[in-house]
Structure 1
Amino acid sequence: MKTELNLTLNWLKPKQQKQKAFTRIKKQGLACILFACLNTIPLHSYAADPNKVIHTYFSGAETGFDPVATNDIPSSQINDSIFETLYAYDYLARPLKLIPLTAVDLPQISADGLTYTIKIKPGIYFSNDPVFKGKKRELTSYDYAYSLKRLLDPQLHSPNSWLIEGKLVGSQEFVDKSKKTGTFDYNTKFPGIETPDRYTLILRLNEKDYNLAMILAHGPTAAVAKEAIEKYKNSVGYAMANPVGTGPYLLSKWVRASRIVLTANPDYRGYTWNFKSKDFNDRKIIAEMTGKKMPQIGVVDIQIIGEAQSQWLAFKQKQLDWISLPANMVGDVIEHGELKPEYKQAGMTLSSITDLIAAYAFWNMKDPVVGGLTKDKIALRKAIMMSFSKEKYLNVLSNGVGIPLNSAIPPNIVGYDPNYQSTTPYSVRGANLLLDKYNYKVGADGYRTLPNGKPLTITYTTATSGNSAVSDFWQRSLKAIHIKFVNKTMQFPDYLKAQKQCTLQMGIQGWVADYPDGDNFLQLFYGPNTYASNFGCTAIPEFDKLYAQSKAMPAGPERQALYLKMMRILDVYAAIMPISTPYENTVIQPYIQGYKSHPMSSVIPWIYIDTTKTTNK
């Protein structure tokens, strides 16, 4: 959440999500607080202007609107508009700053680091819905306890369960028992989640986890009402079509994979825009927005537009209020890091960031051809890596818009080391020599065989929306080392399912930071996360041991040393090949006020911006 971004390099397309660096969370240092805490006097039932309409787009389709069920970007952004987590990120602060949302303050953490006590603000209410039978329904600690238990419910098979799985005292025993009985009793109490009163949530951990507060700012941990879930859930247990939350917006129209319309929640408590920044470039935003009652936007009209040219045409015709430029258009609109004169003269503005995304090639480590930790299997994966030029790839497929990656952790994430270098260089000649050494012989047809003489074929799988130029680049790379290449396509839901079932042989994965710490990327290769977030089905004992140790450490030199060791292990075993992280360049229409690209996808623009263009003008 944000969340996971499952891509076969569709990350090259524009996104409505942004992510960047983070500094350590401290219990002290309560700064400007989002929503109700921004004002010393909270606002109640502030009604946004229904004549202020934002027109925007997603480049991919949504799947539904249940925080526990979804991990695609479009669905997550809608969820983040409707539901609320305990914590959020400051809109302007760079490095990123965690701040309370529905919580009163950042967590009170016990001296041993294992107990988190969280106070919830009274007077926050769910939006009016028939399920509440005309009564105001207040948000309480019980709602967060219920919502966290939904992540653990084995019958729901949440793709986000890894966020808290095994972390809370007594939770694993509770889950194991429910698996045996086939019943998950949400009324069952265990020490890991306690609610001593309506406004107090206590979480007890088996081991220290210094990323817990960030996890509680991630969309899947948002509060839902049990009554709403029970009334609207489908046969799987997800309430995908009737979201009922405490956030600033309501879902008013949904045409699947085509259009989503949000309207401002008339019962939302509101907040006053009062964010601070020392960045000179933020002075215009601060001047435009400070003191305004938020949200200002009454309607958010979102279209699903997958084709970049269609997005650009709609933007030029002012049918879209901003556009994240696809790589092949950057040179037409931007020069020397600024908008070209014609766009400046039109009053448009530019907001640019480096996304908190890592794209990497993965191999199924359980696959009989490319998987395994024996020297011949490692040699095969290394040779494939050595045949692939990241620089050429970026230049050919994205006009050089992006940064080649050497490690699993991308820039601007805690744990990133700009000096880290892979031991596996680009060298077609070296790749061929390595394959020769391990008896991958070239046959009469010009293609190599396995050491046992059987045919060698690498099957690269993409979703149907994948970029064919990516598979073409791979095919050329592997042909240079005499390896037969097959590109297989699948429907996106089937692709995701196959990843989690460890049935794909090879692919490219894009991961968007759920929280801005290297742990969020390294967990992708942790053995116990296989069939959840570990799509390469990687299981390397040395790596797993170090990862478990790192979980109990705060950010600092000692943990950083473990991160570097883990990245080196991934490199030595050729478990993955980091490829790149993209830039995002967003062009904004002149009538939009307050827009600034944010690194975290959970920071949704329309909650923080204004427009001088109204429908009644």
Structure 2
Amino acid sequence: MASTPPKHLDPAQSYASDEALFIMQIYEPPMAYHYLKRPYELIPGALSRAPDVAYLNASGEEISDEADEPAYTRYTLHLRDDLHFQPHPAFAQDKDAKPLYFFDTEEEGTAYRQPSDFPETGDRPLVANDYVYAIKRLADPANASPMLGFMSQYILGMEAFSELVREQPKQEWLDLNDFQMDGLKVLDDDSFTITIKGRYPQFLFWLAMPFFSPVPPEVDRFYSNPGFADKNLTLDWWPVGSGPFMMVKNDPNSEIVLERNPNYREEFFPTEGAPGDREAGYLDDAGKPIPFVDRATYRMEKSGLSLWTKFMQGYYDRSGETHAHTTGVFDQVFVVGPDGVEMSEEMMTHDITMSPDVKPGIYYYGFNMRDPVVGGYTEDKRKLRQALQIAFQTEEYLNVFYKGNGIAAQSPIPPGIPGHLEGKEGINPYVYDWVDGEARRKSLDYARQLLVEAGYPNGRDALTGKPLKLFIDVQSQAINSTSMSWIDRVFSEVGVQIEFRPADWNRTREKLLTGNTQIYSSGWLADYPDPENFLFLLYGPESPLLCECDGANNSNYANDEYDAMFRRMRVLPPGPERDALIADMVDLARRDAVWLYAFYPKEIYLNNSWVHNNKRHGISKATLKYTRIDTDLRPEMQKLWNKPVTWPIYGGLLLLAGLAVPGILAYRRRQRETVGR
């Protein structure tokens, strides 16, 4: 259930969570995540075991693990021996073992518009070169992969490979097997190596992302047939993988349908999980073969009300994300009590279950540290930003606009990610005090005093007397007049004026890239469960003004001490030394007050009573295979909840009868009178 169709289903091009919802059911990257364990645990996916890691010097010779600065790190990946691609016409062969559907002219493929139009399919086992070929596709400029810039900083020879491919004459299909990348080597059908520059332990997390999903050369060649792109017969529309499901229908204005891949390997539901999982019923299916479902249908619903109505009628198994600020639905579903959000009485009668989810992400308003008013690193500038942080009553904002369904952020690192601290040791001491066992926001009087010390008594410049007026850039579709009025009001309480500058995403992004903002809205959801994935949002070289790229440091924060610690932290293995660096970096960001306010988003998913195994996974989208449906209960409840309402029909018939009787009596009376005459 979604309101917009996915834009990209090619793993080389996709970088959106709604697209990963489909991609990760179809493909198997080398690494994966344990479905139940928390904290998030990385496990082998398509691999038979975790990669072997070796550190190399500049000559390519192995050195000890303790070496501070290896020139390279080599990962050796060993595949499982039971991986098999789904049936697909790209693998179909004639009697001479030649591809059936590799065409030279557009006319040869005129009859085909989707994979099901091809009368013959084939399949084959997955081999190491399928992964190597997929990484080469990341480097091919023709694919415009969002990962090229980042991964070329790490994978040895990727940048040179990209330039080599770019220089090739334009042709219908370029076989990337003809070109070598220094950092990639196929050892045999079941193993290959990836060599990266230096040391980067987080690379293992990247191996669990969709970008590293295998793409067989035959599939790349098949979709390069003349004329196929014009009718969306492409990998970006029709993915081909070895995962538990395969796509059998892709109608962007109607529905997307996945069916069980008949060639999927043997896999079983986890037999262990996080504390409390057994009591919650998440281990009821422990050890059973998966996937449980044979078919999954995702319908495109333009209207949230329509989606909700069908869910309540039992025609959808899950509600999708129920955002607290979708007030109409939220008020019908939940009540906010002293213990937080609870199911309403109506939902309880439907036996609907609730799956709350604190996402590993953060939403925030950030200061542009290069702005002459709110930017800068002097003590008066810090106090100005700290005063504004205190004035923004995040808790009230969440209660008013999110029904309390969010957590005021104390750190750039959200819950569930190493480096996030709870309790007294985790509070931001520049904005909060620890009082009676809880964090309490500092008073507005204290904020006003900070404004005085910053040179803005009563919200006016002490030198010119002019009022302090700040500008906030927001995406027009992400804010409404009510929330803007609320923000304007809370800042007016400390004498500060606010002017909003709403614009569409493209215009807002342009302003961020050029540094033409003062305060801006933004957010980030974890790609992988490591603090580096959040702390890099404040890393100096990630500033769009410095990297001349789509950098993530939209605040243009530049602190040499922070940057040095970040470079050290990102290459350290987990342990006390890394933890101490992370804590110091968080303290620096708090002291410099880089973000105006932030919160960790919470969302709630609802499931009808026949849906089992609903535990949310904040990182991985490869969870459909664990879902179990009681197919006997579903039609029973649909029938119960959708009984035909017959009383209007019977009432109408009675009304018609009532109207007809006087006419019939009058007709008979006239007939008798006629006979009498």
Letter in 1 for 2:80: K
Q: Do the aligned residues in 2 keep the contact of 1:348 with 1:589 (CA within 8 Å)?
A: yes
Taking structure 1 as reference, are residues 218 and 385 closer, same or farther at Cα in structure 2, changes over 3 Å only?
same
Aligned to 1:87: 31
Equivalent residue for 2:484, pick from 471, 476, 481: 471
Farther off after superposition, 361-370 or 87-96: 361-370
Q: Which residue of 2 aligns with 1:169?
A: 156
- 1:271 match: secondary structure: coil
1:597 to 613, 616, 620: 616
Q: Deviations over 1:417-460 (max 9, x none)?
A: 22233243255444455455555688xxx976998979954132
Does 2:200 align with 1:200?
Answer: no
Superposed CA offset, 1:541-578 (max 9, x none): 22221111011111111101111111122222222245
Q: Is the Cα contact below 8 Å between 2:186 and 2:193 reproduced in 1?
A: yes
Q: Secondary structure at the match of 2:562?
A: helix
Contact 1:441 1:450 in 2 (8 A): no
Query: Take 1:499 and 1:245, find their aligned partners in 2: how far apart are those partners?
Result: 37
Q: How does 1:302-313 map to 2 (within 5 A)?
A: 302-305=298-301, 309-313=305-309
**Matched residue, 1:148:** 135
- Residue 458 of structure 1: aligned partner: 471
The corresponding residue for 1:514 is 527
Amino acid at match of 1:611: D
Q: What residue in structure 2 maps to residue 115 of structure 1?
A: 74
Contact 2:20 2:210 in 1 (8 A): yes
Matched, 1:262 2:258: yes
Instruction: Specify whether residues 412 and 433 from structure 1 end up closer, same or farther in structure 2 by C-alpha distance, changes over 3 A only.
Output: same
Where relative contact order (Cα < 8 A, 6+ residues apart) is larger, the structure is 1
Aligned counterparts of 2:494 and 2:122: Cα–Cα separation in 1: 69
Distance in 1 between residues matched to 2:131 and 2:359, nearest whole Å: 30
Could you tell me whether the CA contact under 8 Å between 2:374 and 2:384 is conserved in 1? yes
SS at 2:13 equivalent: coil
Deviates more, 1:558-567 or 1:302-311: 302-311
- 1:374: how far off? 5.4
Alignment partner, residue 334 of structure 2: 332
Partner of 2:294, secondary structure, is strand
Match of 2:426, SS state, is coil
Matched residue, 2:397: 393
After superposition, the Cα gap between the structure-2 partners of 1:390 and 1:151, relative to the gap in structure 1 and judged at 3 Å, is farther
Q: What aligned pairs does 1:76-475 form with structure 2 within 5 A after superposition?
A: 76-110=20-54, 112=64, 114-133=73-92, 134-153=121-140, 156-161=143-148, 164-171=151-158, 186=176, 187-229=178-220, 232=223, 239-256=235-252, 259-277=255-273, 279-282=275-278, 285=281, 288-290=284-286, 292-305=288-301, 309-323=305-319, 324-327=321-324, 329=330, 332=334, 336=339, 339=343, 343-366=347-370, 370-373=374-377, 378-418=382-422, 419-425=425-431, 426-439=442-455, 456-466=469-479, 468-475=481-488
TM superposition shift of 1:132: 3.4
Residues of 2 paired with 1:377 and 1:240: CA distance?
48
1:148 and 1:373, CA in 2 relative to 1: closer, same or farther beyond 3 A? farther
1:454 and 1:344 map into 2 onto residues whose CA distance is: 53
Q: What amino acid does structure 1 have at the position aligned with 2:521? A: I
* Aligned equivalents of 1:381, 1:264: Cα separation in 2: 54
The 8 Å contact of residues 470 and 518 in structure 2, kept in 1 or not, is answered as: no
Q: Say which SS state the counterpart of residue 278 (structure 2) adopts.
A: helix
Whether 1:560 and 2:579 are equivalent positions in the alignment is yes
- Partners of 1:284 and 1:400 in 2: CA distance: 24
Return the alpha-carbon distance in structure 2 between the equivalents of residues 591 and 438 of structure 1. 59
Alpha-carbon distance in structure 2 between the residues aligned to 1:216 and 1:431: 46
Q: Which residue of 2 aligns with 1:574?
A: 593
Distance 1:274 1:562, change over 3 A: closer
SS at match of 1:314: helix
C-alpha RMSD of the superposition? 3.9
3-state secondary structure, aligned to 1:572: helix
Contact kept? 1:448, 1:483, Cα under 8 Å:
no
**Given residue 259 of structure 2, which amino acid in structure 1 is its aligned partner?**
T
1:44 counterpart residue number: none
| Counterpart-to-counterpart distance in 2, 1:359 and 1:525 | 14
Corresponding position of 2:568 = 549
Distance, in Å, in 2 between the alignment partners of 1:150 and 1:494 is 30
Q: Cα 1:613–1:66, aligned 2, differ >3 Å: closer, same or farther?
A: farther
2:532 matched to 1:536?
no
258 and 536 in structure 1: CA distance in 2 versus 1, 3 angstrom threshold? farther
Work out the CA distance in 2 between the residues paired with 1:584 and 1:244: 31
The structure where helix makes up a greater share of residues is 2
Q: TM-score, normalised by structure 2?
A: 0.71
Say which is worse superposed, 414-423 or 461-470, in terms of deviation.
461-470
**Which amino acid in 2 is paired with 1:125?**
H
Kept in 2, the 8 Å contact 1:407–1:578? The answer is no
State the structure with more CA Rg.
Answer: 2
Q: CA deviation at 1:408?
A: 0.3
C-alpha distance in structure 2 between counterparts of 1:298 and 1:599, whole Å: 24
CA distance in 1, matches of 2:49, 2:398: 43
CA distance in 2, matches of 1:448, 1:153: 54
C-alpha displacement of 1:216: 1.0
Gap change, CA 1:393 and 1:448, over 3 Å in 2: farther
Q: Deviations over 1:108-157 (max 9, x none)?
A: 22364532211012342333333334442442222222333444556655
Give the Cα separation in 2 of the matches to 1:404 and 1:456: 25
Q: SS at the partner of 1:582? A: strand
User: Which residue in 1 is equivalent to 2:500?
Assistant: 487
Distance 2:506 2:261 in 1: 32
For 1:582, the aligned partner's letter is P
Whether the aligned pair in 2 keeps the contact of 1:271 and 1:294 (CA below 8 Å) is yes
Instruction: Give distance in 2, aligned partners of 1:457 and 1:321.
Output: 46
- Residue 523 in structure 1 maps to residue 536 in structure 2: yes
State the one-letter code of the partner of 2:245.
Y
Equivalent residue number for residue 104 of structure 2:
none
Q: Distance in 1 between matches of 2:188 and 2:289?
A: 32
User: Would the aligned equivalents of 2:455 and 2:461 in 1 still touch at CA under 8 Å?
Assistant: no
What secondary structure, in the 3-state scheme, does the structure 1 residue paired with 2:256 have?
Answer: strand
8 A contact 2:395–2:408 mirrored in 1: yes
Matched to 2:240, the amino acid is V
Q: Deviations over 1:215-271 (max 9, x none)?
A: 211223222334444654779xx9532322222223333344764332333333353
TM-score normalised by L of structure 1: 0.78
- The 2-side partners of 1:371 and 1:161 are apart by 32
State whether residues 35 and 623 of structure 2, in contact with CA within 8 Å, keep that contact through their aligned partners in structure 1: no
Asked if the contact 1:67/1:221 (under 8 Å) is kept, the reply is: yes
Secondary structure of the equivalent of 1:62? coil
CA distance in 2, matches of 1:538, 1:459: 18
Structure 1 residues 224 and 411 mapped into 2: Cα distance closer, same or farther (>3 Å)?
same
- Aligned partners of 2:221 and 2:611: how far apart in 1? 40
Structure 2 runs not aligned, ≥5 long: 56-63, 66-72, 93-120, 432-441, 544-549, 637-677
Q: 2:7 aligns with which of 49, 63, 79?
A: 63
Q: Matched residues in 2 for 1:370 and 1:216: separation?
A: 40
Change in Cα spacing, 1:82 to 1:564, as seen in structure 2 (3 Å) is same
